[in-house]
Amino acid sequence: MSEQTDLQQSPPPEPKTTASSHQTSAKEADQNTSIYSVIALCSLGIVACFFLPWIRLLFADLSGYQLQQLPSDEAKLLWLIPLTGFISVVASITKQSVGTVAQFAGAMPFLALLYYGSKIGQGIFDILRPGGYLTLLLAVVLIIAPRFLKKAK
């Protein structure tokens, strides 16, 4: 009976952690921090690109900001691109839902390209300017980068 009470009173053994498991989790945290930084920078880049020339219309280069000022309700939807970019910056800073928000922010320029490309046709790439191409490049990074985030164990 004394053996039984000794077993009940003794604390359970603590799980042993090794230095390699701490190093692995530290590397994963460092990698995630780097990816959060990349996502934040690319998201800020998308917001900044909204003010760069996106397309050539007639004889003028127009930015996303100038395009949304056109007298059209559908042009107001262009505000979704910098808005989702800003939300992605906030998500990467707070580290909440970063993957989903960043991929959504990356998809917005492509959705706009598909929409306006269906209206204009294949000539859309002839009128794109550096700001438009840079926005698309940053959007690709935002779509791909969250896939490298390591899940917490």
Buried residues in 30-50 as b, exposed as e (16+ CB within 10 A): eebeebbebbbebbbbbbebb
134 in a structural domain: yes
Whether 24 maps to a domain, the answer reads: no
Query: For residue 2, is it within any domain?
Result: no
Give the SS3 label for residue 70: coil
User: Would you say residue 129 lies in a domain?
Assistant: yes
pLDDT tens for each residue of 86-140: 999 999 999 989 999 999 999 999 999 998 888 877 778 888 899 999 999 999 9
Cα angle for residues 89, 90, 92 (degrees, 5° grid): 65
Nearest-angstrom CA–CA distance, 74 and 72: 5
In a domain, 16, yes or no: no
- Using CB atoms within 10 Å of the CB of residue 84, give its burial: 0 to 12 exposed, 13 to 18 middle, 19+ buried: buried
Using 50, 70 and 90 to split pLDDT, how confident is the model at 22?
A: low
Judge whether 116 lies within some domain. yes
Structural domain for 38, as ranges: 30-144
Q: Is residue 56 part of a domain?
A: yes
Strand-pair partners of 62: 55
Q: Where are the beta strands (DSSP E) in the chain?
A: 53-57, 60-63
pLDDT higher than 60, residue 4: no
Q: Is residue 35 assigned to a domain?
A: yes
Tokens 């390699």 — which residue?
20
Domain count, the chain: 1
Integer Cα distance of 30 and 26 in angstroms = 6
